[in-house]
Amino acid sequence: MPESVNAKPNSITNIPPLVGEHSDVEIRFSLKLLDGTLVEETEGDETFRFTIGDGTFLNKLDELLIGLEVETTGTFTLPPEQAFGQPDPANLQTMPRSDFPADMELQEGYVIGFHTPVGEEIPGKVHALTEDEVVIDFNHPLAGHTVVFQATIVAIHS
């Protein structure tokens, strides 16, 4: 008759799943400026689902989530170089005022949608105005800002 073996539970199987390089994750998050100004967040029980590395978030934000487990909250402060970059003077474009509809009210700070040659719309902010020209800033609105990203891992899907 064979002897019975007392097997010990395998503690390795009890390790919670961790966010990996290509994990399908659900998070609750907020993105704020260093002074506390809210840029974007999920609200209440709302979650945001995406795959790490799919380009939904900046690569640096994806990297920061790797290694976290479900119900873990991480708070990360990112300088401009790791977030949206520094403003690039090359992204300021001077356009003739005649390129804009005559009835369009133009003021510094207004954001206007521009269509690229491939049909995508990109935002540009009116940076400066003269009687004949409009300077449009195509830098990301958060360029030059330190941001605070806080994320709670709600689920890791397989």
**50 inside domain:** yes
Based on the fold, state whether residues 32 and 77 are members of the same structural domain. yes
Q: What total number of domains does the chain contain?
A: 2
Based on the fold, state whether residues 49 and 26 are members of the same structural domain. yes
Q: What is the pLDDT of residues 18-52, one digit of tens each?
A: 999 999 999 999 999 999 999 999 999 999 999 99
Whole-prediction pTM: 0.74
CB contact set of 146 (below 8 Å; sequence gap of 6+): 33, 34, 77, 78, 79, 80, 83
What is the number of H-type helices and E-type strands within the chain?
1, 9
Looking at the DSSP assignment, which residues form a beta bridge with residue 152? 28, 73
Based on the fold, state whether residues 47 and 66 are members of the same structural domain. yes
Given a cut of 60, is residue 101 above it in pLDDT?
Answer: yes
| Cα-Cα-Cα-Cα dihedral sign, residues 27, 33, 35, 37 | negative
Phi, psi of 90 (to 5 degrees): -65, -15
Q: Indicate the burial class of 81 (C-beta count within 10 angstroms; 0-12, 13-18, 19 or more).
A: exposed
Cβ atoms of residues 61 and 149 within 8 Å: yes
Based on the fold, state whether residues 41 and 109 are members of the same structural domain. no
